[in-house]
C-alpha cells in the first residue's frame, strides 16, 4: 500500500463517478426524445378525434333529418321514400356516392331495428362516411369510417281542415294573427308550420288537435271547452297531393284558348274558360254541369269582386292567375262537385298561384260559406268582416280579424302524418 500518496485512491474514485454520470446522460436523451414524440402523437390524435366527433354530430343530425323526410314521404308515395331521404342528406352535404366516400342506405320497414322491424310506417336511414385523419396518418391511420343511424315513424294525426303552410316564414316568424277573432273547428285538426299569435283577450282557437312549428301560448281549447296545448311538429308539406280532388286538379292543363267574357246572363258554365270576373254588384250563378265528369270546373283568369257581388252554385272555380283574389264585400257561396271521381271532387276554389285572398268573408250579412276546400297555398289569406264557414282551407299565411269567427266544418284528405324520431 502506498500510504505516501492517498490522493491517488481519491482521484481514481472521482474519475469513475464522472464516467458513470456521462453514461446516465446518454440514456436520458433517447428517453426524452421518445417521450416528446409520444406526447406529440397523443396531441395530434386528440385533434383528429375532435374533428371526427364534430363530423359525427353533424352526420347524425343529417341522418335524423333524412329519416324524418322519408317518414313524411309515406303520406304521398312509398316509392319516393329513398329519394326523399337521400335528397335530405345531400342538402346537408352527405351525398351518396355508393361508398366512395359516403353511403346512404334507406330501409322501410327498418332492417336493423328490433322494436320497429316490419313496421311499414317506420323509415331507417344509415349513413357511413370516410373521415380523413390528418396527424394520425403519420402513425399509419389514414381514415376512420363514421357510422350513424336513425329511425323515424310516420304518426297519423287528425284529419285537418286548416293548413297554414308558411312557406317563407316557417317556424321563425309568426305569421298567423288573430285580432279579437276566433277559429272554430270542432271536428278536425288545425295545422300551422309557423306559430300562432293571438292578439286581444277574446282571440281563441278551438279544435280537437292543434299543430304548429314552434311553441306559442294563447287561448287554445278543445271542442268540449277544456284548454289544450298545441303540439310542435316538423314543417309539413302542401297536402294537395293527399287530397283526391286536389291531386286531380294538379294534373289538369289550364286552357290555353282565348278566354270568353262573362255572359250578360250572369250564368257561368262549367268547362268554359272565362276572362277575369270583375264586378261590384253582379250576382253570378253556376249552371248545372254537363254529364261529363271532366266538365265540372269553371276556368277564370282572376276574381275581383266587391260590393254585393256573389258567386253561387256547384262547381270548382279554377283560377290560374298569380294576382290577388279580391272579395271586398262579395259573397262566395260555391259548393264543390260531390261525384266521386269528378275532376274537382271536394274542391270549391283552386287557385294554386294566387298571391292573396283578400277580405274573404267581408260580405255584409251573408258572409262566405263553402262546403268545399279553398285551396290557395301561396296566398296570404285575410278573413274579416263577417262570420264565415268553409269546409277546409289551405293558405300560405292566415289573418283572421274584426272580431269575427271562421268556422271549419270538415277535413282535407285522409289525415296526414308527421314524422317523429324514435331511434
DSSP element (H, E) containing 43: helix 7-73
**Residue 304 sits in the same domain as residue 170:** yes
Tell me the per-residue pLDDT of 45-71, one tens digit each, with 9 for 90 and over.
666 677 778 888 889 999 998 998 888
| Residue 113 domain-assigned (yes or no) | yes
Residue where a domain terminates, one of 104, 136, 156? 156
Number of domains within the chain: 2
CA angle 32, 51, 105 (to 5 degrees): 135
This model's pTM is above 0.85: no
Domain extent, residue 65, equals 14-156
When pLDDT is averaged across residues 262-285 and rounded to a whole number, the result is 90
**Residue 171 sits in the same domain as residue 286:** yes
Judged by average pLDDT, the poorest of 123-127, 168-172, 354-358 is 168-172
DSSP element (H, E) containing 90: helix 81-91
Residue where a domain terminates, one of 108, 141, 156? 156
Q: How far is CA 102 from the centre of its chain?
A: 26
Q: How many helices (H) and strands (E) does the chain have?
A: 3, 30
| Residue 269 domain-assigned (yes or no) | yes
Q: Which three cell numbers stand for residue 289?
A: 254541369
Q: Is 57 exposed, middle or buried (0-12, 13-18, 19+ CB in 10 A)?
A: exposed
What's the pLDDT at 406? 85
When pLDDT is averaged across residues 225-245 and rounded to a whole number, the result is 82
Largest Cα separation within the chain, whole Å, is: 149
Number of other residues whose CB lies within 10 A of the CB of residue 115: 10
Q: How far is CA 275 from the centre of its chain?
A: 35
| Residue 354 domain-assigned (yes or no) | yes
| Residue 240 domain-assigned (yes or no) | yes
| Residue 6 domain-assigned (yes or no) | no
Neighbouring residues of 145: CB distance < 8 A, sequence distance ≥ 6: 128, 129, 130, 131
Q: Which three cell numbers stand for residue 310?
A: 256573389
What's the pLDDT at 247? 85
- Rounded to a whole number of angstroms, the CA Rg of the chain reads 35
**Residue 233 sits in the same domain as residue 119:** no
| Residue 9 domain-assigned (yes or no) | no
**Residue 131 sits in the same domain as residue 246:** no
pLDDT band at 182 (very low <50, low <70, confident <90, very high): confident
The whole-angstrom separation of Cα 226 and Cα 235 is 26
pLDDT band at 148 (very low <50, low <70, confident <90, very high): very high
**Residue 297 sits in the same domain as residue 313:** yes
In this structure, are residues 309 and 276 in contact, taking their beta carbons and an 8 Å threshold?
no
In this structure, are residues 222 and 185 in contact, taking their beta carbons and an 8 Å threshold?
no
Residue, of 346 and 104, whose pLDDT is higher: 104
pLDDT band at 364 (very low <50, low <70, confident <90, very high): very low
pLDDT band at 251 (very low <50, low <70, confident <90, very high): confident
Amino acid at each position: 500500500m502506498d500510504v505516501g500518496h492517498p490522493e491517488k485512491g481519491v482521484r481514481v474514485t472521482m474519475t469513475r463517478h464522472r464516467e458513470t454520470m456521462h453514461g446516465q446522460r446518454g440514456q436520458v436523451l433517447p428517453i426524452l426524445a421518445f417521450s416528446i414524440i409520444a406526447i406529440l402523437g397523443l396531441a395530434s390524435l386528440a385533434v383528429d378525434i375532435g374533428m371526427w366527433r364534430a363530423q359525427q354530430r353533424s352526420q347524425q343530425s343529417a341522418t335524423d333529418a333524412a329519416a324524418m323526410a322519408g317518414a313524411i314521404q309515406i303520406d304521398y308515395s312509398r316509392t319516393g321514400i329513398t329519394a326523399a331521404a337521400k335528397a335530405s342528406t345531400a342538402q346537408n352535404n352527405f351525398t351518396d356516392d355508393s361508398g366512395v366516400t359516403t353511403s346512404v342506405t334507406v330501409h322501410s320497414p327498418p332492417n336493423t331495428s328490433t322494436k320497429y322491424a316490419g313496421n311499414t310506417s317506420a323509415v331507417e336511414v344509415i349513413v357511413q362516411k370516410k373521415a380523413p385523419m390528418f396527424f394520425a396518418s403519420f402513425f399509419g391511420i389514414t381514415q376512420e369510417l363514421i357510422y350513424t343511424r336513425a329511425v323515424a315513424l310516420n304518426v297519423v294525426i287528425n284529419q285537418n281542415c286548416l293548413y297554414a303552410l308558411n312557406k317563407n316564414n316557417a317556424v321563425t316568424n309568426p305569421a298567423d294573427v288573430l285580432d279579437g277573432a276566433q277559429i272554430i273547428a270542432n271536428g278536425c285538426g288545425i295545422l300551422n308550420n309557423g306559430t300562432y299569435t293571438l292578439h286581444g283577450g277574446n282571440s281563441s282557437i278551438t279544435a280537437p288537435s292543434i299543430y304548429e312549428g314552434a311553441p306559442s301560448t294563447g287561448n287554445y281549447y278543445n271542442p268540449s271547452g277544456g284548454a289544450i296545448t298545441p303540439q310542435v311538429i316538423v314543417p309539413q308539406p302542401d297536402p294537395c297531393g293527399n287530397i283526391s280532388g286536389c291531386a286531380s286538379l294538379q294534373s289538369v292543363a289550364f286552357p290555353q284558348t282565348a278566354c270568353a267574357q262573362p255572359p250578360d246572363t250572369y250564368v257561368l258554365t262549367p268547362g268554359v274558360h272565362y276572362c277575369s270576373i270583375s264586378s261590384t254588384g253582379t250576382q253570378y250563378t253556376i249552371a248545372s254541369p254537363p254529364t261529363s265528369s271532366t266538365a265540372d270546373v269553371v276556368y277564370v283568369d282572376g276574381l275581383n269582386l266587391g260590393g254585393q257581388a256573389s258567386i253561387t252554385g256547384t262547381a270548382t272555380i279554377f283560377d290560374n292567375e298569380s294576382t290577388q283574389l279580391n272579395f271586398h264585400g262579395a259573397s262566395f257561396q260555391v259548393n264543390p262537385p260531390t261525384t266521386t271521381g269528378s275532376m274537382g271532387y271536394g274542391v270549391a276554389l283552386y287557385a294554386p298561384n294566387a298571391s292573396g285572398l283578400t277580405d274573404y268573408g267581408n260580405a255584409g250579412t251573408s258572409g262566405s260559406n263553402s262546403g268545399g276546400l279553398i285551396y290557395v297555398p301561396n296566398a296570404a289569406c285575410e278573413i274579416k268582416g263577417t262570420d264565415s264557414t268553409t269546409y277546409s282551407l289551405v293558405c300560405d299565411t292566415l289573418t283572421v280579424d274584426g272580431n269575427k269567427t271562421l268556422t271549419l266544418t270538415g277535413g282535407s284528405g285522409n289525415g296526414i302524418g308527421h314524422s317523429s324520431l324514435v331511434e
